[in-house]
Structure 1
Amino acid sequence: MFDITRETQEEIDNARDVENLKKVEAALFIAGKFLSAQELVALTDLNPILLNQALQALQEKYNDGSAVEVVNKGDLWKMDVKNEYMDIVNRLASGSEEFSKAEQETLAVIAHKNPITQSKIVQMRGNKSYDHIKKFLSLGLVKG
């Protein structure tokens, strides 16, 4: 039988923390609206203390180097595009150009993972994303 050392226990705890973070991140990303802490507890099956730790970690993660942020208003939480990038969102929302579901998903990946290389996008979304990126460049939604 194996002995669980302190280092092994720390690795297990870190893996759980990462998994908890991913659950909360996924819930906020897909919701597109404010969710209460109670709703997040129900969605992620995390206790309130672990949920709070994950939310704080996500705020730190998205604080710098991302076009996305985790917004907190009282007991409500939401993942949203930072104000300085709202012009892009507004152009997308009010433009006459329609996007396929695949194009919307590619654009969401770009916004979520920004900055990201074209090769990473293609690796994640497939060869069709070359066409998506070309379209986004022509519309001024992304920079090359």
Structure 2
Amino acid sequence: MNPKALLEAALFVSDKPLSLERLSKVVGVGSIEEVKQLIEEMKKELEKEDRGIELVETPEGFELRIKKEYRERVAKLAPLADLSDGMLRSLALIAVKQPIKQSTIVKIQGNKAYGYIRMLEAKGLIKSEKFRRTKILRTTSEFEKYFGKSVDEIKRMIEEKIKE
């Protein structure tokens, strides 16, 4: 089997970043250095203008992503494109105000917020932890991956829209 093709297949199929160690096991090469070399070769190939994806290193490992210039055009095809307006409002509140109490969101949005929060958690965009009789909500790395921007970048965009 072709190690580079196997590396590409592993990165494509994985729903989370893969570490060098994990990739080394999957690809079946002898050393981490060999995996690093394969990754560099793949990165160079994907940097070409006629490619729609890129190989990115994150703190958790390596992953394939859609290049920024193509994200907007293909976003509706993504599995999370089914976010309702209510879910997006809840998600925006969590992103901008995090960490935020679930009870605060319910006060703003009403009881429907409980369902939105459950669905956002199920999609992996937010995480919660018990805090007394409520929950504390935060966005996850999946949130940043999905939107292709950091929480800080999104906060700045929202603040700019509010000023307009």
Per the normalisation by structure 2, the TM-score is 0.43
The structure carrying a bigger strand percent of its residues is 2
Which gives a bigger RCO, structure 1 or 2 (Cα 8 Å, sep 6+)?
A: 1
